[in-house]
């Protein structure tokens, strides 16, 4: 947005400069028309003189005026050429700025679209995370109940001492292994007696 504002300000400055140059161009054209009017006035003045005076004075004045006018016309044509060149450059700059504004707006639209997609993905991830947490809590709850049942079953066996405080998983496994070993030994003893 800042880039677009900057480009638009540059465009406004260039367009203002373009209007100023065009105004100067119109002023120069107006001055040229005024010179033509002056020349016509001089020509009208000559009409009131005698033929001989008219010719002599006309030649002198017209030569002077012609030189002045040629110089003015040459200067004004040079200025007009320079202004036309500058106007072309300004128009080129304005076109370039307009293209940059369009490109910047396109980039902004693309960024907004990407932001929307990212937001949508983020919301989907949040939803997935929530579902995962719920599932994890459910699994943890089931695991804890299952573990408690194992503890109850393990320490309800005769000859196994009740745990002192909270059991670790290793202690629980050790107690279960002890029961398993004792059962195995007992079964082996029964087999031995049976065989005898």
Q: How confident is the model at residue 46 (pLDDT cuts 50, 70, 90)?
A: low
Share of the chain above pLDDT 70, in %: 89
Greatest mean pLDDT among 32-36, 54-58, 156-160:
32-36
Q: What is the pLDDT of residues 122-155, one digit of tens each?
A: 999 999 999 999 999 999 999 889 888 887 777 7
Q: Where are the domains of the chain?
A: 7-123, 138-160+168-194
* 140 or 65: which leads in pLDDT: 140
57 pLDDT tier (thresholds 50, 70, 90): confident
Average pLDDT value for the chain: 84
Given a cut of 80, is residue 50 above it in pLDDT? no
178 against 53, higher pLDDT: 178
Long-range contacts formed by 90-98: CB under 8 A, 24+ apart: 90/14, 90/15, 90/17, 90/18, 90/21, 91/18, 93/14, 94/11, 94/14, 94/15, 94/18, 97/7, 97/10, 97/11, 97/14, 98/11
């Amino acid at each position: 947005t800042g880039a677009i504002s900057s480009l638009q300000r540059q465009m406004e400055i260039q367009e203002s400069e373009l209007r100023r140059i065009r105004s100067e161009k119109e002023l120069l054209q107006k001055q040229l028309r005024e010179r033509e009017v002056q020349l016509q006035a001089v020509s009208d003045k000559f009409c009131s003189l005698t033929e001989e005076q008219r010719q002599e004075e006309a030649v002198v004045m017209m030569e002077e005026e012609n030189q002045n006018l040629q110089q003015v016309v040459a200067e004004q044509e040079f200025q007009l050429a320079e202004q036309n060149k500058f106007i072309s450059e300004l128009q080129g700059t304005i076109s370039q700025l307009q293209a940059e504004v369009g490109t910047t707006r396109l980039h902004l639209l693309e960024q907004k679209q990407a932001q929307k997609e990212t937001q949508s993905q983020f919301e989907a991830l949040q939803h997935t995370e929530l579902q995962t947490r719920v599932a994890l809590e459910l699994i943890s709850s089931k695991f804890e109940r299952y573990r408690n049942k194992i503890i109850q079953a393990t320490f309800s066996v005769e000859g196994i001492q009740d745990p002192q405080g909270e059991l670790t998983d290793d202690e629980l496994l050790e107690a279960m292994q002890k029961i398993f070993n004792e059962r195995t030994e007992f079964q082996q003893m029964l087999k031995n007696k049976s065989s005898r």
